[in-house]
Structure 1
Amino acid sequence: MDPGSGMKEFEPRSIQRETLVDIQGVPLFSTTLEKWDPLWSFKARPDDLLICTYPKAGTTWLQEIVEMVRSGGDPQKCARAPIYRRIPFIDLVHPVLSGLEDAEAMPSPRTLKTHFPVQLVPPSFWEQNCKVRTIAWGSWFDHVKGWWEAKDRHPILYLFYEDMKEDLAQEIRKVAHFLDVELPEPILNKIVHHTTFDNMKANPMANYSTVPPSMMDPAVSTFMRKGTVGDWKDHFTVAQSEHLDVVCARELGGSGLTFRTEL
């Protein structure tokens, strides 16, 4: 099967720089606004799993972990299609891929992905009598505080990238427990091996190398980058680091939410 089968090609020159618009206080692309009605009215199902992350916060890593846990550690099941087909990105509005259409056509149980903050998640996810399971991955300010607070009202597993890097097996156990999946030690070890950063980066079913170059050109930049913790030290001055510490203390103060910045 061609991993990109069903994709519509388009001319790169037809793509224009998008403008930002306000949607419930959140700046998003204007194309998202054009699709807002079907997005907001999206019908969740009771056995849906929604992976909610801030962009470039380890989303693909967590997606592959969830797929491996749900498949009983069988990498062949995860190789059936690229990850963007296995786990539709519901708020992706793009000429080549339509995550919303893919999600609506997918049989249950579905694993879905969004970068939306908590207030923009379609209401149907909260209307399933707490049967919808949501995994949130922490990253920044209003986004992370919203999901952090929502975990007290909904079945949400909140994970941290630094914890995953420090002890991947322990965090995979958390995911399995959250999904009510028994994970024998040999299967856990297989999942840990399959989802190391180097193996993920080399895996065409996870590294986005199968999308058309007109959408993402790996010769310009690979989708999966360094996968490290603490790389900020190679880019921030001491003054910039101190300023960010002040901003984080102000924005996250009182939330009980803290982040590690190095291991």
Structure 2
Amino acid sequence: LRLNSLVGKPPTLFDFHGVWMTCRYTGNWDALQTFQARPDDILIATYPKAGTTWVSYILDLLYFGHLSPERQKTVPITERVPFLEVTNLTTASGTELAEKLLTTPRLIKTHLPVQFVPKSFWEHNCRMIYVARNAKDNMVSYFHFARMTDLLPEPGDWTCYFQSFLAGKVPFGSWFDHVNGWWRKRRTYPKLHFMFYEDLSEVTKTEVMSGVKFDSMRNNAMTNYSTYPLMKFDVSPFMRKGQVGDWKSHFTVAQDEEFDEDYKKKIDPTLHLRTEI
């Protein structure tokens, strides 16, 4: 599978060590796995479309918002918080962007399952934040993202995508495996902070820092990915709604019942996520 096969058409899925992936996220694998983390790095981890950009922006403001107002207006969040495993065809890869970061600590984002995280992050005992979003809303958001970007395979219609998501046959694999894996890791790795998208959504409803509210970020060119290639904003915005409970406008009654049955079998029984607030 060659990287240039991604030019001009959506990438294809393949089984990569038991996880469905595309060349977009595995094409730089050797450099990724040998990436040298620093002890003060902060790794922001999520399943795709679970609040990564939101948390990245909040942390960037907390650590560096005081440095330069111009930085907030001119440097896209994709450069301030590099996407570690992404392989870009025309610009620097995620590992290259991370290595060039001048800020301390470096804020780095990833969608990798816990078993794929470069070992140097564990060896240096780096701080990590994992954000989990309830699976129903996550599925809907991922579906609309797949519709509007050439970074991902064509999703098909909603009914088709529903089955693909349940089977874990989407980039970065099963939502259940991903969330369960990171949830269990926190038991043995004390520097992993596990948080929930729904809690973040609830808090920012009354947050005085209006800039971190979802609507503000959606309209900000430095955070809404409008400067990033391969996005089809005529199909859907990158930051679409951000609502908790939007799944109700997509799931049929039959799909909801099928999902709930599958969910009971796969989710770690100690993990509780809210599907509405």
Shared fold per TM-score greater than 0.5: yes
What do the CA deviations read for 1:217-249 (whole angstroms, capped 9, x no partner)?
Answer: 322321110111111111112221122111111
Counterpart CA distance in 1 for 2:200 and 2:7 is 40
Q: How many residues align?
A: 229
Conservation of the 8 A alpha-carbon contact between 1:21 and 1:33: no
- CA-CA distance at 1:159 after TM superposition: 1.3
Larger Rg computed on CA atoms = 1
For 2:208, give the aligned amino acid.
N
Counterpart CA distance in 2 for 1:206 and 1:65 is 11
Counterpart CA distance in 1 for 2:72 and 2:184 is 32
- CA-CA distance at 1:169 after TM superposition: 7.9
The aligned residue for residue 8 of structure 1 is none
Counterpart CA distance in 2 for 1:238 and 1:75 is 50
Conservation of the 8 A alpha-carbon contact between 1:49 and 1:112: yes
Runs of at least 5 residues in structure 2 that lack an aligned partner in the other structure: 134-174
The aligned residue for residue 182 of structure 1 is none
Counterpart CA distance in 1 for 2:54 and 2:186 is 21
The aligned residue for residue 182 of structure 2 is 147
The aligned residue for residue 201 of structure 1 is 218
**TM-score calculated relative to the size of structure 2:** 0.76
CA 1:238 to 1:207, structure 2 compared with 1: closer, same or farther past 3 Å? same
CA 1:73 to 1:241, structure 2 compared with 1: closer, same or farther past 3 Å? farther
Task: Report whether the alignment pairs 1:164 with 2:200.
Answer: yes
Counterpart CA distance in 2 for 1:211 and 1:32 is 16
Match of 2:56 among 59, 63, 85: 63
Counterpart CA distance in 2 for 1:169 and 1:220 is 27
Conservation of the 8 A alpha-carbon contact between 1:68 and 1:74: no
Counterpart CA distance in 1 for 2:99 and 2:67 is 25
Conservation of the 8 A alpha-carbon contact between 2:65 and 2:72: no
Conservation of the 8 A alpha-carbon contact between 1:136 and 1:156: yes
Counterpart mapping for 1:113-124 below 5 A: 113-124=109-120
Task: Report whether the alignment pairs 1:127 with 2:123.
Answer: yes
Task: Report whether the alignment pairs 1:234 with 2:249.
Answer: yes
Task: Report whether the alignment pairs 1:189 with 2:208.
Answer: yes
Counterpart CA distance in 1 for 2:38 and 2:225 is 27
The aligned residue for residue 275 of structure 2 is 261
Task: Report whether the alignment pairs 1:45 with 2:38.
Answer: yes
The aligned residue for residue 238 of structure 2 is 223
CA 1:153 to 1:94, structure 2 compared with 1: closer, same or farther past 3 Å? same
Runs of at least 5 residues in structure 1 that lack an aligned partner in the other structure: 1-10, 171-187
Conservation of the 8 A alpha-carbon contact between 1:117 and 1:147: yes
Conservation of the 8 A alpha-carbon contact between 1:67 and 1:78: no
Q: SS where residue 51 of structure 1 aligns?
A: strand
Counterpart CA distance in 2 for 1:144 and 1:62 is 17
The aligned residue for residue 82 of structure 1 is 76
Query: What root-mean-square deviation, in Å, do the aligned CA atoms of Structure 1 and Structure 2 show?
Result: 2.3
The aligned residue for residue 96 of structure 2 is 101
- CA-CA distance at 1:253 after TM superposition: 4.2
